């Protein structure tokens, strides 16, 4: 049986999603994947290996990370949800579990992935929710940031916004939506693409902050995109402000509404 799970987590204190050791017994290693697999293996009474929709970095959070796994264990959905969550650290929880067809892949069946980056924009650093916020003390022009970001829409080469550690075979991605809005002291960047490069969202946000502070004009983002040179773009924004909202899948897979998108 193949099952899909929706998992939420606070990435603070974890090394990131990916299991650090790919072989041998499952032992705690500081990764989110291993923590989940240990919990699921206890429910199944056998080893469980998972595949996720998108690996997140250290300190990055997720509202609805989707994973799939295969098992011969017979448990109902409630048993998987409650059993796994009971064995997870308090900063992780399984939200839902549904059976899926054998051809479903949490990674390859996704048609889009969505992220949100929150920036506290005030002179004083955050006291509350500091693990979920970036912080910028200089006033930001959110309208200029939004205008600049529109140059990134469409299928583009995002070499200017990928990390040097990125292992993707190419830098072309289809960025479907991006918006920047201000709500009180917060500036929020939301972005959706078919897939993302390593540090791509954080690097985009870092460059948009340069525009928001008035250090570069909005047209600079398009110049960076065309130049494909990471060394002249803005710095990588801190991990804490980044939330993986989750992937989107065609509806025929039968996942909960929050994980459904266009066919």
Among 49, 57, 141, 262, the active-site one is 57
Q: Is 57 a catalytic residue?
A: yes
187/208 Cα distance (integer angstroms): 11
The dihedrals phi and psi of 181, each to the nearest 5 degrees, come to: -130, 155
Contact 229, 166 (CB under 8 A): no
Q: Which residues participate in catalysis according to the annotation?
A: 57
């Amino acid at each position: 049986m193949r099952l899909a799970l929706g998992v939420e987590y606070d990435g603070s204190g974890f090394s990131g999603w990916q299991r650090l050791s790919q072989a041998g017994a499952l032992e705690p290693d500081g990764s989110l994947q291993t923590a989940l697999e240990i919990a699921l293996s206890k429910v199944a009474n056998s080893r469980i290996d998972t595949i996720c929709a998108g690996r997140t970095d250290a300190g990055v959070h997720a509202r609805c990370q989707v994973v799939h796994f295969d098992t011969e264990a017979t448990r109902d959905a409630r048993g998987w949800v409650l059993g796994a969550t009971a064995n997870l650290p308090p900063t992780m929880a399984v939200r839902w579990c549904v059976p899926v067809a054998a051809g479903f892949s949490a990674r390859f069946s996704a048609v889009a992935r969505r992220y949100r980056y929150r920036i506290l924009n005030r002179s004083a650093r955050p006291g509350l929710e500091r693990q979920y916020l970036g912080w910028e003390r200089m006033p930001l022009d959110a309208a200029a940031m939004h205008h600049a970001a529109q140059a990134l829409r469409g299928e583009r080469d995002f070499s200017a916004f990928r990390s040097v550690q990125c292992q993707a075979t190419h830098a072309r991605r289809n960025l479907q939506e991006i918006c920047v809005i201000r709500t009180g002291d917060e500036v929020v960047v939301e972005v959706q693409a078919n897939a993302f490069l390593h540090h791509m969202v954080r690097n985009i946000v870092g460059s948009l902050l340069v525009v928001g502070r008035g250090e570069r004009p909005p047209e600079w983002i398009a110049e960076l995109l065309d130049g494909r040179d990471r060394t002249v773009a803005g710095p990588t924004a801190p991990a804490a402000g980044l939330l993986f909202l989750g992937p989107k899948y065609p509806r025929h897979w039968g996942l909960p509404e929050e994980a459904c998108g266009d066919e």
